Structure 1
Amino acid sequence: MNRTPESPRPAAVRISSAPEQLAGLTPLLETARAAVGDVPALLQLAKTAAEEAPKPGQGRTAYLWEILASVTAVDVAAGRAIEPHLDATAILAQASQAVPNVQDHPTFNGHTFAGAWGVFAAEAAGLRLHATTADGSFLLHGAKPWCSLAPELDHAVVTAHLDDGGRAAFAVDLHAPGVSFDDPLWTSHGLREIPSGTVHFDAVPAMPLGDAGWYYRRPGFAWGGMGVAACWLGGAVAVARGFKAALLTAAAGGRDPDQLALASLGEIDRTLTALSGYLAWTAGRIDAGELSDTGAWSEALRIRGNVASAVERIQALVSQNLGPAPLAFDPVYGKRTADLSLYIRQHHGMRDDAQLGALTLKGDHPW
């Protein structure tokens, strides 16, 4: 049988949309391929993607996740760059009822709400960001860790501690006086173009997004976590596509895949097919209003855990089959492997499973 390798043209990752819908993503994916390694171009890609992407929970959640997965399948760092911007725009939309006329808030002077956004919600020992009130406004004091691309961004949604012990979300202008950035000690081989460092705030005006705890209570918190998992899925699809292409290339040269390679490809196929179906089903439940309150975070933990485990399994299968050569000589394969390995560490493994176990013990499970 005459077999040829797959075309390198970027292809969308299908979760549930019709092929003709996904065909419309081709220009965005071509742009993503051209932007690899170029941070300003990646941030422009994020803004372009936000113009095309629907908001979660508004009837087209699966298509939003297909955008995230498809861009990540082109380049993991590109997916990592666009996901926070799309999440921030969703958070701002969700906060609109709590903050009427959000773009008119004096923090942003009406016209400066556009630009590239990040979401900074991580915590770290020895670093703490406080929000205090002064003349009816909020000011941020302290430091926030793990702020990816912060010096390159215009704005961010950040979480900060309140005087009463709670935490709230705020929108902040990263060009405002009082904002400064540490030079990240970023030695990672993965996501090299997405360094994460600490941002310092010295009496920086900030706009509250909802009340204390709103950021974590809203169902969009869980939906955003699922969106990250959609990115991971896209990275896994890229690994699988590369493996299939390598087997076809070898077959075209006269070396057919052995049973072990075919078994690995079969396992990868059923894993990705099952995950895609699970995300499609969950997206439908979100759009139907079934995950707007209880159960949303449990479902997010299931999706994130299943996708993270699948990524590691698929990477292991492909690496075992292809051996050291692509890691040593294929820069695309090596970059994808390093980027994806770091990206999925946003999943906290057994600690996230412990959260899910606690919810399961309380009866929050479908079985």
Structure 2
Amino acid sequence: MTEDPVRRPVVPEATPRPGGTDDFDAHSLRAETAARFTAAAAAIDAGDLAFPLPGGGATAERFAALRAVAEDDLCLARLVEGHVDALAVLAELGGPAPAPGRRWGVWAAEPPGEGLTAVRGRDGRWSLSGLKQYCSGAHSCTHALVTARAEDGRRLFAVALTRGTYEPVEGTWRALGMAGSDTPDVRFDAAAAEPVGDVEGYVNRPGFQHGGIGVAACWLGGAHAVARSLRAAGRRGSGPHTDAHLGAVDIDLHTAGLVLEDAAAGIDADPMDRKGEARLRSLRARAFVEAVCDRTLGHVGRATGAGPLCHDRRHARDVADLTVYIRQHHAERDLADIGALVSGRDER
């Protein structure tokens, strides 16, 4: 399989890479990933690890860097992607300047349930209380951008994660896949919060769509990681059926890379989305990459059988991580949105 010529950032090795022990230990895996995240955030602060802001003319480099981190470690990429996405959001919406030494997350999932409520006191200060689900980096982030429901609608807030006002809820992430990403529920109790942007400003800004494609770049990196076992089987000359699966995966991964490059060029050509194309661009890119990831998981599994899943811990983790991560895609709901957009029925 030919490799796409992407620039691969070197992520500092604060500790041995997750996956090096014989037994699965979610707490150790979380700690190891957190240490690598801390090292990566420090490298970003120092300028040694670059993720250009989207729309500035180097968006393809940003996507390639995210893909490369994900190919190395998908759980680490989830934390790094959240951090650099937060930096982009703060720059776009005029939020507080991100000081060195901070590790940011973006906690914006809003599944059914209790949710998070924002209240503005008589002194004009905001506070957050309630439950937020899917908070990646809950134990390792120092700050987070968090969506919450206020009296006037949904808002985005910057929150310092101070012990006593926020608490990860242990045991709320039970999956083996993405265990290192440290994504439990988090409970807030009158946490001081600073509003970032206007009501619904987080989702209505052009960068919301740009950031969604950055997540797809991480998915693609995860697919490349899963494909390593298939490449190895191909080099051993495992037969024509393996070659056929390898050829199918090569076509998909190569084409997905081109889709992300094309999306990056579109973002750089119209960063403020004056043409109104950002949402369809994001939906198309994410849907295609998710489908490529799903097909890659299928081809690799059918070609290599149970062996790598049972005997290669790194491969088993890569498969489990990618299987969970791509479920962040909204599947048929997003496909239906694409259909409504291209038919002209959706004017959003």
Same fold per TM (> 0.5)?
Answer: yes
CA contact (8 A) 2:76 2:181 kept: no
- List per-residue Cα deviations over 1:228-250 (Å, max 9, x = no partner): 000011111122233112221x2
Q: 1:32 to 1:176 in 2, by over 3 A?
A: closer
How much does 1:55 deviate?
A: 0.9
Please state whether the residue corresponding to 2:198 is helix, strand or coil.
coil
Corresponding residue for 1:169?
156
Q: Distance in 2 between matches of 1:82 and 1:12?
A: 23
Corresponding residue for 1:43?
37
Q: 1:87 to 1:46 in 2, by over 3 A?
A: farther
Q: 1:180 to 1:299 in 2, by over 3 A?
A: same
CA contact (8 A) 2:210 2:278 kept: yes
Q: 1:130 to 1:198 in 2, by over 3 A?
A: same
Q: For structure 2, which runs of at least 5 residues remain unmatched after alignment? A: 19-28
Is 1:240 aligned to residue 227 of structure 2? yes
Is 1:280 aligned to residue 280 of structure 2? no
Corresponding residue for 1:18?
none
Letter in 2 for 1:144: K
> What percentage of residue pairs aligned between the two structures are identical?
36
Q: Distance in 2 between matches of 1:120 and 1:87?
A: 11
Q: TM-score, normalised by structure 1?
A: 0.83
Corresponding residue for 2:129?
141
Is 1:156 aligned to residue 141 of structure 2? no
Is 1:336 aligned to residue 334 of structure 2? no
Q: 1:288 to 1:34 in 2, by over 3 A?
A: farther
- Residue from 299, 308, 316 that aligns with 1:326: 308
Q: For structure 1, which runs of at least 5 residues remain unmatched after alignment? A: 1-5, 16-21, 104-110, 251-255
Q: Distance in 2 between matches of 1:33 and 1:205?
A: 33
Letter in 1 for 2:284: R
How much does 1:347 deviate?
A: 0.7
How much does 1:117 deviate?
A: 1.0
Aligned pairs for 1:96-245 (under 5 A) are: 96=94, 99=95, 102-103=96-97, 114-134=101-121, 135-164=123-152, 166-175=153-162, 177-245=164-232
How much does 1:291 deviate?
A: 6.4
Letter in 2 for 1:223: H
Corresponding residue for 1:63?
61
Letter in 1 for 2:247: G
Q: 1:58 to 1:281 in 2, by over 3 A?
A: same
Greater Cα radius of gyration, structure 1 or 2 = 1
| Number of residue pairs matched by the alignment | 329
Q: 1:70 to 1:13 in 2, by over 3 A?
A: farther
How much does 1:334 deviate?
A: 0.6
CA contact (8 A) 2:118 2:148 kept: yes
Q: Distance in 2 between matches of 1:60 and 1:364?
A: 30
Please state whether the residue corresponding to 1:229 is helix, strand or coil.
helix
CA contact (8 A) 1:179 1:202 kept: yes
- List per-residue Cα deviations over 1:223-277 (Å, max 9, x = no partner): 11100000011111122233112221x2xxxxx3322222211111111121111
Q: CA RMSD in A?
A: 2.4
Please state whether the residue corresponding to 2:135 is helix, strand or coil.
strand
Q: Distance in 2 between matches of 1:116 and 1:227?
A: 18
CA contact (8 A) 2:78 2:136 kept: no
- List per-residue Cα deviations over 1:99-127 (Å, max 9, x = no partner): 4xx24xxxxxxx96741111111113221
Q: Distance in 2 between matches of 1:342 and 1:202?
A: 29
Q: 1:356 to 1:32 in 2, by over 3 A?
A: farther
CA contact (8 A) 1:131 1:161 kept: yes
Structure 1 runs of 4+ aligned residues shifted over 6 Å read: none
